[in-house]
Structures are given as structure tokens and as C-alpha cells.
Amino acid sequence: MGSPRIIMKLIVAGIHDEPGDVRVIELKHQRKPLLPTFEPGSHVDVHLPDGKVRQYSLCGDPEDLSRYTIAVKRESSGRGGSAWIYDQVTPGAELPVSAPRNHFPLKESGGPVLLLAGGIGITPILAMARVLCRQGKPFELHYFARSRSLAPLLRTLEESIGAKSLRLHFDDQVDTLQDIEGLLSTRPSGAQLYYCGPLGFMAAVARVSEHWPDGTVHFEAFQPPVQDDTAPEPFTIVLRNGTVVPVPADRSALSAIRAAGVLLMASCENGVCGTCECGYLEGQPIHRDAVLSNDARSHRFIPCVSRATGVLKLDL
Amino acid sequence: MTWQGNLLHIHIAPAASYEMEELAEAQLIAGRGIVGDRYYLGTGTYSPKPDVREVTLIEIEVLEAIANGEPKIPGFKRSLAPEDHRRNLTTRGVPLNHLTGKRFRVGETILRAARMNFPCKYIEELLGMPGLYEGLLNRSGLNCSIEVGGVIRPGDPIVPMDE
């Protein structure tokens, strides 16, 4: 089960705009000079006034704990959280923010690191690049955007890590285009791949890195991959103590389990944060999350979005 | 048993998992809780489970023992600040474990001790302090109801009523 994180009422200490409808928000603690430590790849949960929770990667320097920096892209077609933050949050405002959590850590490895970011997916990748750069480790960051004028955090990126490791690819500049299939066709010895970006980018990188060995490819998605459009079917959950919990077609496994009296923490309820993760003992789950690795899918389950056929026995 | 102690700190949190905030004075409402606290508002981790949690207390003596490394718990060497333990009131000189079922005064208010608090794994995960659960066993304070409400402040005397 995902562990709970302390929630702090942070103050918006600074706001500035970046290209591509992105607003960078700096958050400080009201009383404490230092915030909890974080590793590159970490995100925080931002708690919105309507009770919703949204995850944002920390894109600042993990060595500077006087502030957390998040970048919010205004998505008018999204679920409303980012639009609310973009439109309503002003300097001095108070935002409830969880301590950081990391589902996208840099692995200890001696080999080269390949970082791929598409658009706003630069946020966790930027924090990783800052740390790799400081440690003097070999890495290459490929940043894909529609054009230079629409690429968020580009200046910060250029100032923080320099040109040596940075490769920029803009759709409107033919000489910068990069064929990712070619980029990933041969895996350099010992290399690790990390990528983050919008849905189409995620799907493309997943496809062309399929031949990389298990454990060498790491990613973070903003939303689960486009799902099959089959209608959800009812199924049945059995708890460890034998309690039978029917899950109707129009209800999530998470809400059915909670209604049965099990205290289960959850956060995004969209299959990306991993807070409600639990184990399953028997059955055929239909995984619809964007958190679990292929290995984990054999015994773990994300009840906020995933379903099952027939009977699923959970380790709860 | 004769004893007299006092109130050192008052902390509340607006909802489950939120950081505790220290107060210079607090309003206790009989039968409900501390104004602004999660168990007054019904937003606590355990709010859905009926129990007495209007006010929770813990001894500073326990925090001092933990800071001194007593008892020794493998892999655990940390101190627990009054704002981290998630109880509302931090006391000195009050034998909390002996008060179950008894009434006592905190300043102008009267509390009735319902049961000894039991530590939870939740706080261990929340604070990232493995071993804390064991460190608080049998000394994680007292859950009380409020019989007579009022305003309390750090420094208020805490005295027994029922002998």
C-alpha cells in the first residue's frame, strides 16, 4: 500500500510564466526554512479546494530545500485541476502540498543515462539532469517540443546543464528533428533510459524501446495510456478475511472496497500515483493504471482504475 | 495519587495527514473537541471510526526518553518533536497511563480519560520514522473526552479531580 505523506500548507513565494501555457510556481514553508528532502523524479500532491488532488513533478534543484518548484501547464481539456491552479493561484496564496514521493527514481548505475522529455514532460527530467550534471555522470538529454517558442523551461535547462549534454528537437526546425526509433535502435552498453511526456510521445517511446532489457527503461506518465473502449464489466473482490465485495460496472474497485469498510489511502484516483496500490493473491486483473511495472503486474493491483474478470482475491 | 503537572504545547491539524500547528490558546468544546482540529471537524484519519478522540495527550517525558534512545530499538535513533507526535496536548508531570476512567482539570476545562492511546503504523509512515511504533507502545498517551469546555493555554496547570 502506498504510504501516507505529511501535508504542509505551503505559501506561493513566486510565479512566472514559461512558453507553452506553463506557469512555474515556487512554494515555501510558512515556518520552516527547509522542506523535506527529495530525489530527482519526485512529485508532490497538490490538494485543491474541491478535494481533488493533482500530482506535479518537482523541477527545482534537489539541493535547494528552501523551496519546491512545480510547473503547471494550463490544459483546458484536462480534468480542471491544472486550469484552477493556473488561473487562481496568486503570490502569497496558501496551497496544501504533500511531502514528495518518488515513483521515477534514477537508478544507481555506472553506464550512460539517456533522458527523453516531450513538452511539459521536461519537469522531472530537468531535476534528473541537474543532479547528473553535478555528479559529473555521462548523460544526454533530448528535449522534444513543437517549437523553440513553445518549449517550457528551456532557458532554465540551458542555464542549468549547459549545451554539452542537451539535444533540442523542434517540430518546426527540420535540421533539429530526431527520429526516436533511430535514437533508441541500439542500446549503448549499460545505458538506462528515462522518459516523460504527453500520451503520443509516451506511446512512441514505449514502442521503439521495446527491445531494451527489463529494468533499463523507466518512465512517468501524466495519465494512463489510452484505454480500450470496452465497457467496464461487474466483477467480484474477495478480501483476505473472506469478505465478498461485488464491484458493479459503474463503480471503481477502490470505492467498493472502501464501502466495505477497508481504510485504503488514495490520491489521484486516476491510476497514475500509486497511493492505493495493493497486492492480489488470485484472479485475472485487467490493469488500467500507469504505475505498475510489468513485473509488478503479476501480483500488484491499482484499485482506483483497474478491474478484473470474475473473482479477484486481494491481499487486504 | 497526588500529582500536579502542566500544559506545555497545544497542537491541532485541520485534516488527516496535515502538519500539526502550534496554538498559543485553544477553545475546547464539551463533547466535541478542539476548535479547528481534525477530530472536531470530522476530517481525521479515524473520524469514520467512532471512538473517543476529542482531545489526545502525550507526556514530554516520553519524548525525552525517545530522544535519549530509551528503550533501544534496532535501527531507530531519532527524536520526536512535539509538533510531530500528532497528539493535541503535550504535558509535563502528568501520569497519563494512570488516569483511564478518571477526570482531571486542564486550566479551566475538565477532561475525562477514556482510554490509553495506541500507536499506529500510519504515523511511522507519515514521518518516515521506522521503529517509532515500537517506541511509542504503552506510552503513546491518552484519549479524552471534554466534560467542561473552555480556553486553555500553554502553562496551564493540570490537576487531578477523582482520587
Residue A1, pLDDT score:
35
Least confident of A119-133, B12-26, B67-81: B67-81
Residue extent(s) of CATH 3.40.50.80 domains in chain A: 113-221
Domain containing B59: what range? 5-160
Longest distance between any two alpha carbons in chain A, whole Å:
62
Q: Do B18 and A5 touch (CB under 8 A)?
A: no
**A99 to chain B: closest CA residue:** B126
**B127 to chain A: closest CA residue:** A6
The share of chain B scoring above pLDDT 70, in percent, equals: 95
Which amino acid would we find at residue B157? P
B46 to chain A, closest Cα gap in Å:
9
Closest CB to A8: pick one of B16, B19, B122.
Answer: B19
> Domain A7-98: which topology?
Elongation Factor Tu (Ef-tu); domain 3 (2.40.30)
Are B13 and B23 in contact, with CB atoms under 8 Å apart?
no
B114: domain CATH number is 2.40.33.20
CA B10 to chain centre: 9
Q: pLDDT tens digits for chain A (316 residues)? A: 345 689 999 999 999 999 999 999 999 999 889 999 999 999 999 999 887 888 899 999 999 999 999 999 988 776 677 888 988 899 999 999 999 989 899 998 889 999 999 999 999 999 999 999 999 999 999 999 999 999 999 999 999 998 889 999 999 998 888 889 999 999 999 999 999 999 889 999 999 999 999 999 999 987 666 555 567 889 999 999 999 999 999 899 999 999 998 888 877 787 877 888 999 999 999 998 878 877 788 899 999 999 999 999 999 9
Q: Do B18 and A9 touch (CB under 8 A)?
A: yes
B21 to chain A, closest Cα gap in Å:
10
Q: Considering only CB atoms, which chain A residues are within 8 Å of B17?
A: 4-7, 98
A265 to chain B, closest Cα gap in Å:
10
Number of domains into which chain B is organized: 1
Q: Which CATH superfamily is domain A235-314 in?
A: Beta-grasp domain (3.10.20.30)
Residue B54, pLDDT score:
95
Q: Grid cell 496568486 — which residue?
A: A90
Are A186 and A153 in contact, with CB atoms under 8 Å apart?
no
> Domain A113-221: which topology?
Rossmann fold (3.40.50)
More confident site: B126 or B152: B152
Q: How buried is residue A208: exposed, middle or buried, by Cβ count under 10 Å (0-12/13-18/19+)?
A: middle
